[in-house]
Structure 1
Amino acid sequence: MNFDIFITCAVTGSGQSHLKSNKVPVTPAEIAAACIEAAKAGAAIAHVHVRDPATGAPSRDPALYREVVDRVRSADTDVVLNLTAGMGGDIVLGSAEDPLPLGPGTDLVGASARLVHVEELLPEICTLDCGTMNFAEADYVMTNTPGTLRAMARRIQAAGVRPEIEIFDTGHLWLAKTLVEEGLIDDPVLVQLCMGIPYGIPADPTSLMALVNHIPAGWVYSMFSIGRMQLPYVAQAALAGGNVRVGLEDNIWLSRGQLASNGDLVERAVTILTAMGGRILGPDEVRQKLKLTKRG
């Protein structure tokens, strides 16, 4: 078991959860406030997507990221910022019979375009989705080719930002090891195990341990599962030697019929972990662990 645990809160994500819960933050002010709320509840890291303030749709607009980052950095509550770099790899096929032209929702850009906000704002951490995957949607593919990932890893490394490697299936861990072997990712290597997302790796304990048992010594890892398994995975993560992610990106419920806030989910995670004998790490301890340079 990991007894010294950090919590990441993924505060909004890029899905349609804002249509299901009015607690999902949409505007930059709301997203920044959610980061601060999560930090006050015990999260050391806030994982950030941005949305179009008018529609709630996912966005890559650097101006929206800048407003969120400026608001968080100017607050009196410390938190490590982790900005997504996963946007810009979305392909939606026209249909099963006529895949071209590509359908609405396609957002496919190059490595440099996916990292404009990261290189401009220099968060302490940004994500690197280490592979391509089918999600539950019929014609949608999350697209991250080895060539694109190598190009992104080089730029992230040059910017002095720590990549959090997102692992959705076993082959993604294999590719992550390759990037490390090629010198594109510096120590300490940080990975996030993303469990239970159709059609990646299932959220059962044996599948989880198949990943954990192949993580190299010295790597730092965190994990989460989506939906109703999010809170059980808080305990599972600690037992498996890892760290924890919760938040409204992955689950909008605190209990059956009760919508959660980000702060609620972090508080529940703290309760679970401390009841197990765990100690929750603060932002400065995480910076030391991950060799991060505080920004802002």
Structure 2
Amino acid sequence: MDHKEFLASLTAEQCRELTETSDRRGLAQLALHFGTVVVLGELIAARVPFWPALMLPQGIALVFLFTLLHEASHQTPFRSRWLNVAAAHISGFLILLPPRWFRYFHFAHHRFTQMPGKDPELAAPKPETWGQYLLHISGIPVWISHVSTLVRNAAGRCEDGFVPTGKRDVVRNEARIMLAAYLTLLLASLAFRSSALLFVWLIPMLVGQPFLRLYLLAEHGRCAYVANMLENSRTTLTNALVRRLAWNMPYHAEHHSYPAVPFHKLPELHRLAAAHLGVTETGYGRFHARYAPEFREVGEAAE
């Protein structure tokens, strides 16, 4: 059964229940995620004992706002549209990823999932050697990509095929506003001789990014180049803490099969789809333990 056949097997009542959005559920999850960032940030800024150790969990919480941006790009975490828009802009700003541009990028990814030459996520190949793997999880390439995207868009040089021609002025203005805001924060920090943003925001994101890279690689890494979402996307069975941190996106094959389902309904969708999932893994550690040893096999095949 492919994802289209699975969706066709759902009743109208099941579809209605699965796609029901909720401001209450979304705000509760948002309060927990943002609350963690704020509390840890306050403790770091206050220089409590052993405060440098808090920068790692702070960084993980910050970079995983990507999963909120991702969810908000689908307009599903909240019933109210303005909450979805606000969540996308705030999370995108904090992780240096322009939300409108990312929405066009992500929709192309959904439309052409695992289709070489069409899926924009495949523009940067998945790591196939230890050197590529270590560079990938370092986060360096993604930070270079984020900054270059902002600068290129702000200069009006966005030529990404997934961005509609008529929306490129919007993408340009978005990038300019973000860069102006970052410059304002920098000048304010210099004026007040404050290092708070450095230790509360920037350094934590640098140390947290490898955890997001490890998480995201499991979504499609080594999945088939086919149109069936139950085979080209991986669902990773993990613990409640990771699911909460990632807004239930470890249920990734389910999300790709039915993107209109909000995060809090994905466990229910998983129960319905579990028997039909083509690619699953029991934990991120097991995924990487299987992924990395194949580097030698790939190299031997190339030779």
Q: TM-score, normalised by structure 1?
A: 0.28
Say which structure is richer in helix. 2
